[in-house]
């Protein structure tokens, strides 16, 4: 009888240890899969930013290559909201978007 209790206790301890190991492995696997998905989403976002920046660079190169000084001035005034020295700017507050 004593031998059976001894083997039963060992069997229970080994079973608990195995379940703990399996649980730990599964939990780590799930954690790694979640991290992988987060990293893929971040990579996708960064690739989108890279492509938009490349497109902006191409647009700026086109403007730089084929623009006259009057054309550059118009672009600077409209896109960058730049003004000439000692120039007074009036803003129409009735317009949408300002």
List, for residues 58-89, the tens digit of each pLDDT value: 887 777 776 666 677 777 777 777 778 888 87
**Domain count within the chain:** 1
Question: How many H-runs (helices) and E-runs (strands) does the chain carry?
Answer: 2, 0
Predicted TM-score of the model (pTM): 0.50
Q: Domain range spanning residue 71? A: 2-79
3-state secondary structure of 83: coil
Q: Is residue 86 part of a domain?
A: no
pLDDT top residue among 3 and 44? 44
In a domain, 91, yes or no: no
Query: What is the distance between the alpha carbons of residues 79 and 59, in angstroms, rounded to a whole number?
Result: 13
């Amino acid at each position: 009888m004593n031998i059976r209790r001894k083997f039963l206790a060992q069997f229970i301890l080994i079973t608990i240890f195995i379940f703990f190991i399996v649980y730990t492995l599964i939990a780590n696997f799930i954690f790694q899969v979640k991290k992988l998905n987060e990293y893929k989403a971040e990579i996708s976002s960064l690739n989108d930013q890279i492509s938009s920046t490349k497109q902006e660079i191409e647009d700026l190169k086109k403007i730089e290559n084929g623009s006259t000084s009057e054309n550059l001035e118009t672009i600077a005034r409209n896109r960058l909201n730049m003004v000439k020295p000692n120039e007074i700017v009036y803003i129409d507050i009735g317009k949408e978007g300002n």
